Every structure is written in C-alpha cells, then in structure tokens.
C-alpha cells in the first residue's frame, strides 16, 4: 500500500484527491495552512488521514511530511489570477517558492514520483486551438508565470537530481467542494450556487466565451493513472481536460435546465484580459498513460448541483 502526501489537502482538488486515494487503499498524509482551504472539505475523512496544519514554505514541516512518502501530489497554491495581479510578490511565495520547497523535501526524502497541479494559464491567450503541450507557453498573469516556472523547476529536478516529476496542466476544473463564495472562484461554481438560490448570474461578454470545463473526477483519475504508470512520464507536461469546449451561454442553459431556475441572466461588458477561448488537446495523456474522460460536462454538472443541493438545502427552497 502506498503512502502519499497531498499538499493543499483542504482545498477543492486536494480534498477530492484524498477521497480518491483513500478509496484505492493509500495511506494519506496532508499538509495545508488553510489560507483558501476549508476543513469542512475533509469532514467525512478527517479521521482517516494524517492531517498537518503547516505552510509549504516551512521546509522543516515539509521535510517531516515527506518522510516515508512514496508519492507527492502537490496541489497547494493561491489559485487566483486576480490575487496574483494585486499581489505578485505575495503570491510568488506559495506558488513558486512553495513548489521549490516541496521539490527539495521530496528529493531529499527519496520520494518515488511527484505530481504537480500545473495550469492551462501557461498557454496565455494565443488564438490557436486546441492547446497542445508542444506549443510555446505565453503566460500573461503573475499567477500563470508562477505556475509555469514551477513546471520548469520540476523538469530541472528530474534532469539534475533524478526525481521523477510530472506536471498536469488542469483546464477549468469544477465539481463539489469548490468554493463558490469567493470573488475569485470558478465561473461554474458561482453560476450554480447563485442559480440554486434563485439569484441572477452574470455573463461578461456575449456568452460566446468558451472553456474546456473539466469535472473533478477526471483530475483524480489522471493523477492516479500517472502516479502508477510505468510509461516514461518523468519530467513531462500533460494537459488534463476533456477535449471539448462549452460556451458560457451553453453552460448557463444547462444549469438552468438541471436546476429548474426560472430567472434570467445579466450580461456585462467583457473584462479586460479575459481569455476568449480555451480547449485542450488531451491525446498525449491518453496515449502515454491511459488517461480518459471518466465524466463528461453534463454528468459533472448534475453531480455538482446535487452536491450544492444537499449541502445547502435552503437552495432548493429558493427555487
Ligand atoms: N481549480 C482549477 O480550475 C485549477 C486549474 C488549474 C490549476 N489549478 C491548480 O490546482 C491546485 C488546487 O487548486 P484548487 O482549485 O483546489 O484551489 P483551493 O484554493 O481550493 O486549494 C488550494 C489549497 O492550498 C492551500 N494552500 C495555499 N497556500 C498554501 C501554503 N502556503 N501552505 C499550505 N497550504 C496552502 C489552501 O489552503 C487550499 O487548501 C492549485 O495549485 C491550482 O493552481 C486549479
């Protein structure tokens, strides 16, 4: 049975990974400083994990956490473009120096493989679609630069120190436990939470903006597949998405259909710097380590909406 470390375990993706890995029989240790994460995300599994409240910049705590670990799933970060614009230096600490700290501790501890939550933000706003891993990155925001620089550190640690690292570039992940209350949260979490409470969502632009919206189960599946594959993945970068794009208007209409929301949507001018379209080529992950889309957009929406309904029953009453 493998022993794994998840950084950012109290967050949306980290807590989902924890459930997936526990279900596979792994022994799970987690680190989080709770800056954006929430202990409620771990409520039902809290007694089954070794949870440590610590900052990934604390090398002593990370060294201890890596002791005896086979696989590291490094998810901790401040995952926000706007926050990185307001505070480039403050976010560089956790997003880049934090990654370096985790790499260093993993290397010293002799960890077998480290998986890293990279971001599609690395591609920037080049109009070319779909995005393939061989494209030249063109990060725009400090957040995108920090996440991309982390990828380069991973590749360096593989080449220089022989630590097996893999960067998974996530594209617009959504699902249960994503925080809908923050102004920085994902658009689907905001739409679902507002519409479940009978409140009007806002679309910036005419609604034709599109994204490769990816349900969380696909991310959990990708991480587990890449951790155990015997294919040569060390030092490589893979897109993790669905290979399909959905416009904001389509997403709104599907949520409306599932929730029974009877209100309208409001349109506001497009925001400066918003990327128009995003779509991944996922063939590399499919061919190298057997990644596949385990849950599509509609199924993901239905599960996410069900989760919000169960966790906030007042939402149903508002419909
Ligand atoms: N959600 C997406 O669509 C998406 C897309 C691309 C990449 N990512 C990446 O996936 C990862 C997880 O994102 P998420 O959506 O689950 O966000 P999240 O905010 O829900 O989770 C991040 C977790 O990291 C923890 N954390 C932050 N700084 C820390 C520090 N210094 N020390 C210890 N813990 C710290 C937070 O408390 C939180 O629990 C991030 O690295 C993010 O950049 C997410």
Q: How far is the CA of 261 from the centre of ligand 1 (A)?
A: 30
The residue annotated as part of the active site, out of 123, 143, 215, 252, is: 143
Which H or E run contains 211? strand 210-211
- Specify the pLDDT at position 223: 98
Please, which residues have CB within 8 angstroms of residue 180's CB and are 6 or more apart in sequence? 189, 190, 192, 193, 194, 308
- Domains in the chain: ranges and CATH: 3-173+215-240 (3.40.50.720), 176-211+244-278+296-317 (3.90.25.10)
Q: How far is the CA of 37 from the centre of ligand 1 (A)?
A: 8
Closest protein CA for atom 9 of ligand 1: 117
214-241 burial, b at 16+ Cβ within 10 Å, e below that, comes to bbbbbbbbbbbbbbeeeeebbbbbbbbb
How far is the C-alpha of 81 from the C-alpha of 121, rounded, in Å?
9
How far is the C-alpha of 51 from the C-alpha of 28, rounded, in Å?
8
Q: Are 80 and 138 in contact (CB under 8 A)?
A: no
Q: How far is the CA of 270 from the centre of ligand 1 (A)?
A: 26
Of the candidates 63, 39, 25, 3, the one whose C-alpha atom is nearest the C-alpha of residue 14 is 39
Among 5, 10, 11, name the best residue to mutate to test ligand 1's pocket (greatest count of ligand atoms within 8 A of Cβ).
11
Of the candidates 216, 215, 164, 301, the one whose C-alpha atom is nearest the C-alpha of residue 19 is 216
Q: How far is the CA of 97 from the centre of ligand 1 (A)?
A: 14
Among 73, 79, 80, 97, name the best residue to mutate to test ligand 1's pocket (greatest count of ligand atoms within 8 A of Cβ).
79
Q: Which residues line ligand 1 (CB under 6 A)?
A: 8, 10-14, 31-37, 55-57, 75-79, 94, 98, 117, 119, 147, 170, 172-173, 186
Instruction: Please list the pLDDT of the chain residue by residue as tens digits (319 residues).
Output: 799 999 999 999 999 999 999 999 999 999 999 999 999 999 999 999 999 999 999 999 999 999 999 999 999 999 999 999 999 999 999 999 999 999 999 999 999 999 999 999 999 988 999 999 999 999 999 999 999 999 999 999 999 999 999 999 999 999 999 988 776 678 999 999 999 999 999 999 999 999 999 999 999 999 999 999 999 999 999 999 999 999 999 999 999 999 999 999 999 998 877 789 999 999 999 999 999 999 999 999 999 999 998 887 555 445 4
Task: Name the burial class of residue 117, with classes exposed (0-12), middle (13-18) and buried (19+) by CB atoms within 10 angstroms of its CB.
Answer: buried
- Specify the pLDDT at position 319: 47
The DSSP code for 104 is H
Q: How many Å is the Cα radius of gyration of the chain? A: 19
Question: What does residue 160 show for φ and ψ, rounded to 5 degrees?
Answer: -80, -40
Q: How far is the CA of 79 from the centre of ligand 1 (A)?
A: 5
- Specify the pLDDT at position 184: 64
- Specify the pLDDT at position 314: 59
Four-residue CA torsion sign, 247, 248, 253, 257: positive
Told to judge if 116 belongs to the known catalytic residues of this protein, a careful annotator would answer no
Q: Check: pTM over 0.85? Answer yes or no.
A: yes
| Start-end of H helices in 110-213 | 142-161, 187-196
Give all strands of the β-sheet with 165-170 in edge-to-edge order: 49-53, 27-32, 3-7, 71-74, 113-119, 165-170, 236-240
Question: For ligand 1, what atom is nearest to the CA of residue 173?
Answer: 3
How far is the C-alpha of 241 from the C-alpha of 202, rounded, in Å?
25
Q: Provide the CB-side half-sphere exposure for 78 (13 A, CA).
A: 25
Of the candidates 99, 223, 227, 246, the one whose C-alpha atom is nearest the C-alpha of residue 170 is 223
- Specify the pLDDT at position 181: 78
Among 49, 76, 84, 179, name the best residue to mutate to test ligand 1's pocket (greatest count of ligand atoms within 8 A of Cβ).
76
- DSSP for 169-189? EE-SEE-TT---SSTTS-HHH
């Amino acid at each position: 049975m493998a022993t794994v470390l998840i950084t950012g375990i109290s967050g949306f993706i980290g807590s989902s990974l924890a459930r997936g890995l526990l279900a596979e029989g792994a022994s799970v240790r987690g680190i989080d400083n709770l800056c954006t994460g929430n202990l409620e995300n771990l409520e039902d599994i809290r007694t089954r994990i070794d949870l440590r409240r610590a900052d990934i910049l604390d090398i002593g705590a990370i060294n201890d956490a890596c002791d005896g670990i086979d696989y590291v799933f490094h998810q901790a970060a401040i995952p926000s473009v706007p926050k990185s614009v307001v505070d480039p230096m403050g976010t560089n600490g956790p997003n880049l120096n934090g990654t370096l700290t985790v790499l260093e501790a993993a290397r010293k501890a002799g960890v077998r493989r480290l998986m890293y939550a990279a971001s599609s933000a690395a591609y920037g706003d080049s109009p070319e679609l779909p995005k393939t891993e061989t494209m030249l990155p063109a990060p725009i925001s400090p957040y995108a630069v920090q996440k991309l620089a982390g990828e380069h550190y991973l590749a360096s640690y593989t080449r220089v120190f022989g630590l097996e690292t893999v960067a998974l570039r996530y594209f617009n992940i959504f699902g249960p436990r994503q925080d809908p209350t923050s102004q920085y949260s994902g658009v689907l979490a905001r739409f679902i939470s507002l519409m479940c409470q009978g409140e009007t969502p806002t679309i910036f632009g005419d609604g034709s903006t599109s994204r490769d919206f990816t349900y969380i189960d696909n991310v959990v599946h990708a991480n587990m597949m890449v951790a155990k594959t015997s294919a040569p993945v060390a030092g490589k970068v893979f897109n993790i998405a669905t290979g399909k794009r959905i416009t904001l208007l389509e997403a709104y209409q599907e949520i409306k259909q599932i929730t029974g929301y009877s209100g309208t949507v409001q349109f506001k001018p497009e925001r400066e710097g918003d990327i128009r379209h995003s779509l991944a080529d996922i063939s590399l992950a499919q061919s190298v380590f057997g990644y596949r889309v385990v849950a599509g957009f509609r199924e993901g929406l239905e599960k996410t909406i069900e989760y919000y309904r169960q966790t906030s029953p007042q939402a149903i009453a508002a419909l």
